[in-house]
Amino acid sequence: MCICGPRPGPSQRGECPVSGTAGKTVEILTVKALLTETALRRITNSSYRFCPEPACDVVYFTENGDTYGKADLRVPVWQKEPFGARILCYCFGESEAGIRDEIDAEGASHAVERIRALIEAGRCACEVRNPRGACCLGDVSMAVKRITATVLRTVEAGHR
């Protein structure tokens, strides 16, 4: 049996047209807030998705195949940057380097607790400031665990 008609392209299925990675829907307000002036001139009234693939330069794409890369954004996108000093929380400035410094100095990071308290106080703006358009708390929590484990392995290796 033949099914006739055009097959949807990658971006129509919600996949990045460059990497093929499944994209997460992002509100147009987030995209508008983070694009450079030049990139903002190209924006259309479309549905936007975020490409989380680290090796892909595309940050946002539409079902029409429009793409916006890292150079089109006002901020670095942590998923697209090398590990080490990436900004994780765009509202309150928590970064991998800051988390590591805090762990080195105090034995633990309290970044998650700080962010959680600020969220509860109604000061979070992740839906606009985070390029993914979503809360960063899960990302920060995973980063704290990853960095803590790295620091512990380094300490243990130094004691051998």
Look at the block and give the residue holding tokens 């924006």: 43
pTM of the model: 0.85
Q: How far are the Cα atoms of 145, 152, 154 from residue 157, in angstroms, in the given order?
A: 18, 8, 5
Burial class of residue 99 (count of CB atoms within 10 Å of its CB; 0-12, 13-18, 19+): buried
What is the distance between the alpha carbons of residues 138 and 151, in angstroms, rounded to a whole number? Answer: 20
Look at the block and give the residue holding tokens 């962010």: 115
pLDDT digits (tens, 9 = 90+) for 1-56: 323 333 344 445 799 999 999 999 999 999 999 999 999 999 999 999 999 999 99
Contact 91, 133 (CB under 8 A): no
Domain of 67, in residue numbers: 10-72
* One domain, residues 59 and 93: no
Q: What is the DSSP letter of 97?
A: H
pLDDT band at residue 142 using 50, 70 and 90 as cut-offs = very high
Q: What's the number of domains the chain is made of? A: 2
pLDDT digits (tens, 9 = 90+) for 93-122: 999 999 999 999 999 999 999 999 999 999
DSSP state letters, 35-50: B-HHHHTT--SS-EEE
* One domain, residues 84 and 147: yes
pLDDT of residue 15: 96
What is the distance between the alpha carbons of residues 12 and 145, in angstroms, rounded to a whole number? Answer: 36
Residue 48 forms part of a structural domain? yes
CATH number at residue 15: 2.20.25.270
Angle at 87 between CA 82 and CA 92, to 5 degrees: 175
* One domain, residues 32 and 85: no
* One domain, residues 84 and 30: no
Residue 3 forms part of a structural domain? no
